[in-house]
Amino acid sequence: MNLRLFRKTFLVVVLAATAAPAFSDELEPVQRDVQDLTQAMYRGDLDTILRFSHPKAIEMLGGPTAARATMEMAIQPILDIGMTLEAFSFPRPPEYIEGKERRFAIVPTLSIMAAQGQQIESLNYQFGILEPGAKGWTYLEGSRINQQNVRVFFPDFPADYSFPEFYRRRL
């Protein structure tokens, strides 16, 4: 994946995470992470966003300083257009997948966002990664992860996994 494509992918991560999740004491830890990531987006809390970003994502953006600058540029237009969340949910429980070295999580999300008089519905997922020895999960935006590229980053991801469907559509 080249740097330009990765930057576009990262922007989608930022956009996908702008939905404010439902608050519940019954959330799985990975759902709480997605919730925290979303709240950080609305606050412009780049430290939290960086903390939840997978290290390979940060590396491909040129390291922490460059990643922070890219994230800031990606978040500001969302704030400028006044994007709001009209609905958000976790439509299914997370799915955990054991790799040979890592643990993975598929965290489905469903959101309706509004901006400038338009609504967009998004069924998507966050792709969680728990690296060996890590204390916490990190994430990539799921719609950009597929059978063609997942093993470039994570060679231990199961080859026979069927990724969930996703969509984005105007309402």
Counted domains in the chain? 1
- The percentage of the chain sitting over the pLDDT mark of 70, rounded to a whole number, equals 85
Domain boundaries, position 62: 3-170
Place of tokens 């460059």: 66
* Residue 81 confidence (pLDDT): 86
- Of 61, 26, 138, 154, the residue nearest 100 (C-alpha): 154
Lowest mean pLDDT among 48-52, 108-112, 165-169: 108-112
Task: Locate 88 and state its tokens.
Answer: 């958000």
CB burial class (10 A; 0-12, 13-18, 19+) of residue 170? Answer: exposed
pLDDT tens-digit series, residues 1-58: 444 544 444 444 444 443 334 444 588 999 999 988 877 776 778 999 999 999 999 9
140 and 126 in contact (C-beta within 8 Å)? yes
For range 81-85, the mean pLDDT: 79
- The pTM (predicted TM-score) of the whole model is 0.81
* Residue 59 confidence (pLDDT): 94
Which is more confidently placed, 21 or 135?
135
Does pLDDT of 69 surpass 60? Answer: yes
CB burial class (10 A; 0-12, 13-18, 19+) of residue 121? Answer: middle
CATH number at residue 122: 3.10.450
